[in-house]
Every structure is written in structure tokens, then in C-alpha cells.
């Protein structure tokens, strides 16, 4: 799976994630999901982490519902979610893997471990009979 995201959306996520520290920040991603294997993120939603910790997140359900309505109204489909890791690398934690329940979703993780150089990666977390399989997806940031 290849995923494209606009630089301006990445910048907004970073801004939001920095302002939410020390808690994890979170949100949803939406856009187009054509059958050719390239997903296009057209909108990033910055939502409230109701857990308010630096170890995990829960997206505010009311905000989530509102975001999904907004996606439908704008002809977009839900593509997955994103959250920040204020102090740890950009890869799914054991908790992230345990809670991932959508094999088709893209999970974006933004690491602020080095706040001067935030790292954003995308993952697919597939359920298998013998556990879960985590794969890194190809994330392309569109400049300009």
C-alpha cells in the first residue's frame, strides 16, 4: 500500500501534537481509496484524546462521529487514524497493536522523540489466526 499526504497536513499534525504534549495527540485521516493500491489522504482531523496520557489514546466519540459525517458530506472515505508518540519512536506499541481492530485501516504514528525532527510513518496491522502482523506502508509526502 502506498499513501500520499500533503506537507501542509503533516505540518498541522506536528503543530497539534506539539501543543498536546505531554499527552498523545490523535485524529482521523480521510480521502480517496482507489483500487490501484494508492491511498490519497485529503483531510486530517485533529481530535481530542480523551485518555489524556502519553501512553495511549481514545478518540472523543462525538468528535469522531462529526468527522465521519464531514467525510461523507465531502465525498471522502475513512482511511484510518493517526496519533503521536511524544517520547517514543514512530512504530506501534504493544498496546497499539492490541487495540488495532481494522486490518484495512492505515495507522499513522507521529514521533516527537526528537522534537526538531518529527518522524511520521504509516502501518497496516493485520489480524491473523496466530496474532497480528504489522507492516510498514509506503508514505509519500507531497510538497507544495
Residues within the interface to Zn ion (CB under 5 A)? 93, 96
Report the residue number, 26 or 76, with the smaller CB distance to Zn ion: 26
- Specify whether the CB–CB gap between 45 and 98 falls below 8 A: no
Minimum distance from CB of 85 to Zn ion (Å)? Answer: 5
Distances 22 to 15, 18, 53, 81 between C-alpha atoms, Å: 13, 8, 7, 20
Minimum distance from CB of 43 to Zn ion (Å)? Answer: 21
Residue nearest to Zn ion (CB): 96
Report the residue number, 58 or 93, with the smaller CB distance to Zn ion: 93
- Specify whether the CB–CB gap between 117 and 18 falls below 8 A: no
- Specify whether the CB–CB gap between 44 and 12 falls below 8 A: yes
Report the residue number, 12 or 87, with the smaller CB distance to Zn ion: 87
Minimum distance from CB of 143 to Zn ion (Å)? Answer: 27
Amino acid at each position: 500500500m502506498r499513501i500520499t499526504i500533503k506537507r501542509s497536513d503533516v505540518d498541522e499534525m506536528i503543530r497539534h501534537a506539539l501543543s498536546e504534549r505531554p499527552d498523545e495527540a490523535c485524529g482521523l485521516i480521510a480521502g480517496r481509496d482507489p483500487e490501484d493500491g494508492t491511498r490519497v489522504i485529503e483531510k486530517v482531523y485533529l481530535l481530542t484524546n480523551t485518555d489524556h496520557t502519553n501512553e495511549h489514546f481514545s478518540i472523543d466519540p462525538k468528535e469522531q462521529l462529526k468527522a465521519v459525517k464531514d467525510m461523507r458530506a465531502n465525498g471522502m472515505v475513512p482511511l484510518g487514524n493517526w496519533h503521536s508518540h511524544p517520547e517514543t519512536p514512530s512504530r506501534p506499541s504493544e498496546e497499539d497493536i492490541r487495540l488495532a481492530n481494522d486490518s484495512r485501516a492505515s495507522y499513522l504514528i507521529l514521533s516527537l522523540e526528537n522534537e526538531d525532527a518529527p518522524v511520521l510513518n504509516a502501518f497496516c496491522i493485520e489480524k491473523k489466526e496466530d496474532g497480528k502482523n504489522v507492516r510498514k506502508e509506503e508514505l509519500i509526502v507531497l510538497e507544495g
